[in-house]
Amino acid sequence: MDKVIVTALLLIGSVTAALVVMMSVGPSISQASQSLVETNRDTSNRIKTDVEIIAVAADSAGTTIDAWIKNVGVVPIYAIEKMDIFVITPGTRFDAMTHAASGDNTWTETVLGSAWSRGDTLHITITLPVASPIATGTHALGITTANGVSTEKIFSK
């Protein structure tokens, strides 16, 4: 009879311990799984995102640059205003542009709506300071989307 009682107590203790472990580890596994799903979704969107700078042209004064960029990826691009845009003159200049309606070292885009869809071409206008225009020579325009996809195009003024 003593062995039956000891066995029953050990069985109850084992079941209780298993339940405690499941209740404490279960939420951690669920959180890790959700994190992995979100990471996979972000990586998938980044792989499916691609842009190509079709053309870049500077005005004769060197204070305004027009660029046309095409979404050649398979997914729409959101948060266009969060793109990073740079004007680079190798060895001389590296200007980071700010998305704003007006001012120096700013850029604006032709409004496309809430998303930049596949196949759409975005026209951006970059404004440089009158006191610091780009000189005649070779320059580069660099663009990085909000999810980290980058492209660059060499152009001349």
Q: Which of 77, 38, 70 has the alpha carbon at shortest distance from 56?
A: 70
Residue 3 has pLDDT above 80, yes or no: no
Q: What is the pLDDT, as a whole number, of residue 67?
A: 97
> Taking CA 101 as the corner, what is the angle to CA 97 and CA 105, rounded to the nearest 5 degrees?
25
pTM of the predicted model, to two decimals? 0.73
pLDDT, mean over the chain: 86
Determine the Cα–Cα distance for residues 88 and 136; give it in Å rounded to an integer: 13
pLDDT (tens digit per residue) in 48-69: 889 999 999 999 999 999 999 9
Q: What is the pLDDT, as a whole number, of residue 51?
A: 95
CB-count burial class (<10 Å; 0-12, 13-18, 19+) for 9? exposed
Q: Name the percent of the chain lying above pLDDT 70.
A: 92
pLDDT (tens digit per residue) in 10-36: 778 777 877 777 777 667 666 666 776
